[in-house]
Amino acid sequence: MAKLINGKEVAASVRAKVKEETEKFTNETGIQVGLAVIIVGDNPASRIYVNNKKKACEEVGFKSYEYALPAETTQDELLELVRTLNNDETVHGILCQLPLPAHIDEKTVINEINPEKDVDAFHPVNVGKIMIGDYNFLPCTPAGCMELIHSTGISVKGKNCTVVGRSNIVGKPMAMLLLHESGTVTVCHSKTVDLKEECKRADILVAAVGVPKLIKGDMIKEGAVVIDVGMNRLPDGKLCGDVDFEQASEKASYITPVPGGVGPMTIAMLMKNTLTAAKNMAAKGK
Ligand code: GUN
């Protein structure tokens, strides 16, 4: 029977460390760390995420600035706000909650964020830095998954790692982070011919596709570490991951639950990135 990886606990310890370091940073520099969060429209899931981000800011001692814009906001208006925040020295991190309404091009907006304030690490400059292993920030969800893997005490080095999903936000950077730690990485997607075989080879399996319970027990190697990034809402209103938790728990050595696994880590890593941004700006005298 697999041991549970408790994301709530690991996330709380990351936030506690950020809080301690923030206190020290603020005492030494007189700078209060600021995170600006932009939300456009009224997507209920986005609203919950943004509220949780604000709560985490309070907990670690940051000032949070929320910009809740109506769904009809034009792309130009949003870009103007991003430029204003780029030039605001009380703001160290800028996060534009995705998805944006269909009439706004997400790429254009992300490209406008000053890479030094891009605490999501979505800007092409930051994506490129991650690729070459020379980064300031890691994207929050993959970085959170790495923390969870580290919490098991199992080393990635030399392990077969399978990532299911190739999104820019999770799958691709996740593969890169596993590679940086010398894992042998396979990335699976909708055109993968034999998903079961690819998964069964994995000592470390990360599922990030958004398909409820796609990964069944017979797709998991005995003793594997299973990280479930999925956050799917079932017709009965319950949340479930991309992994069939009941079945997978019979095979894995460690597994993340949904909820309470990867979810809380994303926000904890956002706090870490925002503090890093503030420290880097202070070091440059900005
Ligand atoms: N929407 C879902 N996840 C994320 C995230 O990590 N960052 C942003 N900006 N939007 C999201």
Q: Roughly how many angstroms between the first and final C-alpha of the chain, as a whole number? A: 52
Query: What's the whole-number average pLDDT of the chain?
Result: 97
Residue 9 Cα to ligand 1 midpoint, Å, equals: 21
Catalytic annotation on 97? Answer: yes
pLDDT of res. 202: 98
Helix (H) or strand (E) holding 3: strand 3-4
In sequence order, which residues have a C-beta less than 8 Å from that of residue 168 and are 6 or more positions away?
Answer: 122, 127
Query: How far is Cα of residue 159 from the mean position of the Cα atoms in its chain?
Result: 22
- How many A from CA of 56 to the centre of ligand 1? 15
Instruction: For the beta carbon of residue 66, count every other beta carbon within 10 angstroms.
Output: 15
pLDDT category at 249 given cuts 50, 70, 90 is: very high
pLDDT value of position 35 = 98
In the chain, the domains with their CATH numbers are 29-114 (3.40.50.10860), 140-263 (3.40.50.720)
Q: How far is the CA of 98 from the centre of ligand 1 (A)?
A: 5
Kindly tell me if the per-residue pLDDT of 286 is higher than 80.
no
CA distance 3 to 46: 31
pLDDT at residue number 231: 94
Q: Where are the alpha helices (DSSP H) in the chain?
A: 7-29, 44-60, 75-86, 106-112, 124-131, 140-151, 171-180, 195-200, 245-249, 263-283
Secondary structure of residue 124 in the 3-state scheme? helix
Mean pLDDT of 182-188: 98
Q: Is 53 a catalytic residue?
A: yes
Rounded to whole angstroms, the Cα distance separating 274 from 143 reads 14
Give the integer Cα–Cα distance in Å for 14 and 268.
Answer: 6
Pocket test for ligand 1, best of 97, 126, 270, 273 (most atoms within 8 A of CB): 97
